[in-house]
A and B are shown apart, each in its own frame.
Chain A
């Protein structure tokens, strides 16, 4: 059975999600921050984590965005193959949602229309949209506004098969070390291993939207996530890069099949304002 979905529904949901994501941190992230605060042993680091928790309270109570970089809107659309859209272009509906959300939510317009001419589009559009066709008649929307302090510190490494798991771990640790204070630690590290050049990057971006505290269903990858989180927190970078036990809150790794000649690894850095929100319509 074909189900009709009006694109206006997409627009209204995305508008609300832009505003919500920028004022209320997802519950899994907030929980991870509170646990980090309780565990942190260095006084300055604890003070900074305390400020970040206070910042979350102020953001929600006074409706001031958690961070002034309210990001470029990244949208993952999982579209059931039995859905029929009516009312106009899906792409335009998504962008209209972003436009309304960033205007009505007093969010910062941080997008320039051309990467070299650099004129602000003044409505934070266009969004970056990833489409996926899945069985069913529903549409799952994941919105993840992405700040560029951390985005700029992300990396893709085209490793070779002989580099193996050790090479992968080294590439991830080096990326976190090089990012240092710039990525606004405590960070969440999204990793994509395998696929092709662009597939690895999308896997890494998606990994950032996975609930903090959950792990890959693959035992060897779960082990790698835990090992890397421990190693990153031994670096001593700490909150804001000013020293401490809390450098990362999670390492989330997604994998995909790859070519016999390759081992792509993408590391998408995200700050502690790791915004992600999901709705199904």
Chain B
């Protein structure tokens, strides 16, 4: 089923999503990948505040290519989500509502998604030029020294994603192999 959603997301609406739904996201989302997750985790260990609010928000696992002049961003497709599995349950318990990436997640992540009524979306891997067109604004808001791995705030318009793991624990990757 095709759905159109505004980000930050409404958690009650997120709970109605089902694995296999095709969702177009419009609004504000954030990027973070390996190095930014490590920094956020270290910040939490030290009792520091995170550079982004988590509640209702979407983290896109993505590190773009540099933007050409006059463009907000370069190629901008998803990276493999499982590398963030170590850090994800904690972020979900603190309010993170959705993630966009690609590939399998550990059972602990699925459990945290169900526990919190969250969702894991896949964007199509290797479609970075197409996805770049849905990003209207991009701004580095933290960890600038990490270059492509810095946390960016993105304004997106109809970013196409597919629900892989829903809040009931259904998993599209597993369903298609049955």
Contacts and interface: CB of A to CB of B under 8 A. Distances in A.
Interface string A179-197: 0111010000000000000
Contact of B124 (A51, A56, A182, A243): A51
Interface string A237-271: 11111111000000000000000000000000001
A58 B133 contact: yes
Contacts of A120: 146-147
A63 B68 CA distance: 9
Contact of A108 (B68, B74, B103, B146): B74
Given A48-B124, A67-B75, A149-B125, 18 more contacts: A55-B130, A58-B129, A58-B132, A59-B75, A59-B129, A64-B65, A67-B128, A69-B77, A70-B75, A106-B68, A108-B74, A110-B148, A122-B147, A149-B79, A181-B104, A181-B122, A240-B125, A242-B173
B65 A65 contact: yes
Contacts of A152: 80
B128 A66 contact: yes
Contact of B126 (A52, A64, A244): A52
Interface in A54-93: 54-56, 58-59, 62-70
What is the size category of the interface that chain B forms with chain A? 35 or more
B139 to A, nearest CB: 17
Contacts of A54: 130
Contact of A68 (B76, B80, B146): B76
Nearest first, the 7 closest Cβ-Cβ pairs linking A and B are A243-B176, A182-B103, A184-B125, A68-B75, A65-B75, A64-B129, A59-B129
B103 A68 contact: no
A172 interface: no
Nearest to A108: B65
B25 interface: no
A108 B148 contact: yes
A275 to B, nearest CB: 11
A26 interface: no
Interface in B57-82: 62-68, 71, 74-77, 79-80, 82
A180 B103 contact: yes
A120 B146 CA distance: 8
A27 interface: no
B102 A66 contact: no
Interface residues of A, number: 45
Interface in A139-179: 149, 152
Contacts of B146: 120
A55 B128 contact: yes
Given A149-B102, A152-B80, A272-B126, A66 B176 contact: no
A109 interface: yes
A184 B79 CA distance: 10
B118 interface: no
B127 A182 contact: no
Nearest to B62: A68
A10 interface: no
B142 interface: no
A241 B104 CA distance: 10
Contacts of A107: 65-66
B176 A238 contact: yes
Contact of A65 (B128, B160, B177): B128
